[in-house]
Structure 1
Amino acid sequence: MGEIRVDNFSLDYFFSGDIDSYNYSSDLPPTLQGAAPCHPENLEINRYAVVVIYVLVTLLSLLGNSLVMLVILYNRSTCSVTDVYLLNLAIADLLFALTLPVWAASKVKGWIFGSAMCKIFSFVKEVTFYSSVLLLACISMDRYLAIVHATSTLIQKRHLVKFVCITMWVLSVLVSLPILILRNIVKANSLTLVCYEDVGNDTTKWRMVLRFLPQIIGFLLPLLIMLFCYGFTLRTLFKAHMGQKHRAMRVIFAVVLVFLLCWLPYNLVLFSDTLMRTKKIQETCKRRNDIDMALNATEILGFLHSCLNPIIYAFIGQKFRYGLLKIMATYGIVSKEFLAKEGRPSFVGSSSGNTSTTL
């Protein structure tokens, strides 16, 4: 693919310096009609702060998701349906976090890793993003089936759950293919290269099309599924007299709340940016800079979600804590007396025995 022309304008004027998968800019020139040239605000200090945050998120995600994988694989003989989903979720979040240091480095030095790595890292980041949120939706459906329909259903057969997870990964790969095809090295200015979409004269149109993929498949659809499933789940828990219902409700509220806190601000800002790019609202230099900065800030919240998932699904849950303490007791890190005092968690699950209300 050829490079985007930079003869008449520089990407610096409308490109916030962020190399993320979702910050798509228009092909507007730096000078708005009847106005002085737009000069992006100096974000050098913020850029280095973002690098530090990216590294911290990576380290936290590595620690949390690695522990989740360790506990599930160590106890794979008693692995439940939910555990299969959590294992795949941990893998997705871990791979997503591993791409962040590369994007952090590109914020400071520009893209210095070559065209092939641009495509590969963009593709991996996109696939793991989609698989993570789709697996969250699957977990909400699993909770719905386990609590609202506490019967042995087809979806609770372990081999079919593995098939569902594989399907989510395949779907994530398919919706990420445009990024793999269209990503290339583009000149931001005479000195800096960025990893960005390059579709020639149709750049703006394709970026608008690609923008709706993460908003619909990566946010709106999973959110609707979670609200539906967890809504009925909570209603059932309120009506039932389950010993674990308060803990299950706490986990459910945490799931929806953290998902909203992490991704809703970014999607609202992105929607505002879309309105501006499509001229539904007036574009000004100040509004352009404000939205660019807001996209950078709210995107960090979204990235933070990858290291919060282990806390929600694992550290709040009795089952994970007991599994981790069991491993620690085996290797003498904690005493067996402490493990016995902690006590094995009790579960209230479906008749199939493959899932439980306690995560």
Structure 2
Amino acid sequence: MAQLPITKIPVITEDSFDFAMLDFTLFTTACETSGIRNFGRFFMPSLYAIIFVTGLLGNVLVIVTFVFYTKKTMMDVYMMNLAIADMIFLCTLPFWAVDAYSEWIFGTPVCKIMNGVYTINFYSCMLTLVCVSVNRYNFIVQSTKMLRSKSKIFHTKLTCAGVWMLAIILALPEFILSEAYGDLPDKIICTMVYPPNSNNIIKLGVCVIQMVVGFLIPFVTMIICYTIIAKTLLQAKGFQKNKTLKIILAVVITFMICELPFNIVLLMQTLQIISEDNISCEYRVNMDYAIIITESIAYVHCCLNPILYVFLGVKFRNNFLKMLKDIRCISHKHLTQYLKTECETSQQKSGISDSTSLHPL
């Protein structure tokens, strides 16, 4: 999913570095940044617009379908929370697009809100993916121990509430330290301004938390849970097994492609903070380009979440067709015929149990 807003920040000169530390960026001298500014000015707003439109469409479909056409299960509650987190994150992109194209024109209060909300939904999305992975493990590997009752739904809602509360706590530095700051006479940016005597401790702490909570924990959890799930499915017999394994593989590979490059760049910068070595202008410029590109790739994750976690499921597909019938895009006859054909197909083939159907995956 999405990452903390770091590429929105141009280079600061030596005079301002003592009292305005940039988000995870290490600058000790002024470098020529016109190329970076021009690249970001056109690349970022264009990509943000594409992500905003496609992500909004997909997540709105998920939310509408789950609210009006789905009998709620534990997985549905998690999917709703994931879609809501993605939606709120997407609503911050127009602000960052304006910032990238010109400058931050919305003032400090809005800067604090946007940075804070942005970060809340980043953490809530990643922590929800952890919950989804564990839920799938319990549903498939520990299916005999799963009790399908209202109490389970209540515990799931309680878990989601805990996820949002933890995300709010982790986002407090953004709410407190974010400011609309003028780094140049004609350029105002929205960034985190660290205390002058913090000795990089706060910045390093924020960076480490982002990597651990925002990448390492979700990645390790997904690898462990989906490896055990895949092993369980390989021992099962059924026509959906291969398709389900492909979905699992797609989920893990997509997460790695979207999130791993940015976190590698973030790790390099964290190590630079720890070593406190001076770095050349060429290195800094290359790192800025790397941040812009890898961060943008990470944003694409919120567009792919609906496809990977919802759209491929039989349950969602059936409910989506019901919605199309209600808005008169398809006839009741065609819907009935499709559902009948699908039911007959499932009965003719030796399917695996409901616990390994596509919707839980």
Residue equivalent to 1:35:
none
* AA aligned opposite 2:293: A
Structure 2 gaps, min length 5: 1-11, 347-351
- Check whether the contact 1:47–1:107 (CA below 8 A) recurs between aligned residues: yes
- Check whether the contact 2:14–2:28 (CA below 8 A) recurs between aligned residues: no
DSSP-derived class of the 2:181 partner: strand
- Distance change in 2, residues 1:317/1:221 (3 Å): same
Deviation at 1:7, TM superposition (A): 7.9
Residue equivalent to 2:286:
290
Mapped pair 1:159 → 2:160: no
TM, length-normalised to structure 2: 0.86
Aligned residue pair count: 334
Deviation at 1:319, TM superposition (A): 1.5
Residue of structure 2 aligned with 1:39, choices 27, 32, 35? 32
Residue of structure 2 aligned with 1:304, choices 300, 307, 310? 300
Mapped pair 1:269 → 2:270: no
Mapped pair 1:73 → 2:67: yes
Distance in 1 separating the partners of 2:291 and 2:199: 20
* AA aligned opposite 1:191: D
- Distance change in 2, residues 1:349/1:167 (3 Å): farther
Residue equivalent to 2:111:
118
Distance in 1 separating the partners of 2:191 and 2:278: 25
- What is the CA RMSD across the aligned residues, in angstroms? 2.4
* AA aligned opposite 1:309: N
Residue equivalent to 2:7:
none
Distance in 1 separating the partners of 2:96 and 2:225: 35
* Over 4 Å off, 4+ runs: 344-347
- Distance change in 2, residues 1:258/1:335 (3 Å): same
- Check whether the contact 1:140–1:229 (CA below 8 A) recurs between aligned residues: yes
* AA aligned opposite 1:137: V
Deviation at 1:356, TM superposition (A): 5.3
Residue of structure 1 aligned with 2:56, choices 62, 69, 85? 62
DSSP-derived class of the 1:200 partner: coil
Residue of structure 2 aligned with 1:177, choices 169, 172, 184? 172
State, as a whole percentage, how many aligned pairs show the same letter: 32
- Distance change in 2, residues 1:193/1:155 (3 Å): farther
Does 198-207 or 172-181 show the bigger shift?
Answer: 198-207
1:265-318 CA distances to partner (integer Å, 9 max, x unpaired)?
A: 000111122233434776221111101100000000111111110111122222
- Distance change in 2, residues 1:164/1:356 (3 Å): farther
- Check whether the contact 2:26–2:272 (CA below 8 A) recurs between aligned residues: no
Residue equivalent to 2:349:
none
TM, length-normalised to structure 1: 0.86
- Check whether the contact 2:211–2:263 (CA below 8 A) recurs between aligned residues: yes
Mapped pair 1:320 → 2:325: no
Residue of structure 2 aligned with 1:210, choices 202, 206, 213? 206
Structure 1 gaps, min length 5: 1-5, 31-37
- Check whether the contact 1:146–1:356 (CA below 8 A) recurs between aligned residues: no
